[in-house]
Amino acid sequence: MSGSEPGARERLEARRASAAERLDATSAMLTALMRDREGANDDDEHDPDGATLSTEWSRLTGLADAAESEVRQVDDALARLDVGTYGVCIDCGRPIPDARLRARPFAVRCVPCAERAGR
């Protein structure tokens, strides 16, 4: 999958749209959680009927952070596509194999360089 391969942009844009939808949904859930708990004086840390507020907050924040990170990574990949460096390893300059780009479309390193970099 070179930067000029037909379909690379469409796959990246679809991946970005999916991550952006997850980010929007998770952000809405965080907002609702804050609104629902505003002014509540409940002792949710000892509520036997469900997850604690802090547990749910942590879970949703983690999901939002992951989706936001994916949006950024895909945006960076789209920028590389625009300048013709998409699919080229930033360390060795060799092409990143198609299989790697299909599994991880925002990869910036080939597998050997990623292993050396610890990623």
pLDDT score at 20: 97
Where along the chain do its domains lie? 8-40+49-117
Residue with tokens 């469900």: 50
First to last CA, the chain: 20
Comparison of pLDDT for 51 and 68, the residue scoring more: 68
Mean pLDDT of 40-51: 56
Mean pLDDT of 74-86: 96
- Average pLDDT value over all residues in the chain: 87
Report the predicted TM-score, pTM, of the whole model to 2 decimal places.
Answer: 0.78
**DSSP letters spanning 82-118:** HHT-TTB-TTT-PBPPHHHHHHSTT--S-HHHHHHHT
What is the pLDDT confidence band of residue 14, given thresholds at 50, 70 and 90?
very high
Class of domain 8-40+49-117: mainly alpha
pLDDT score at 52: 80
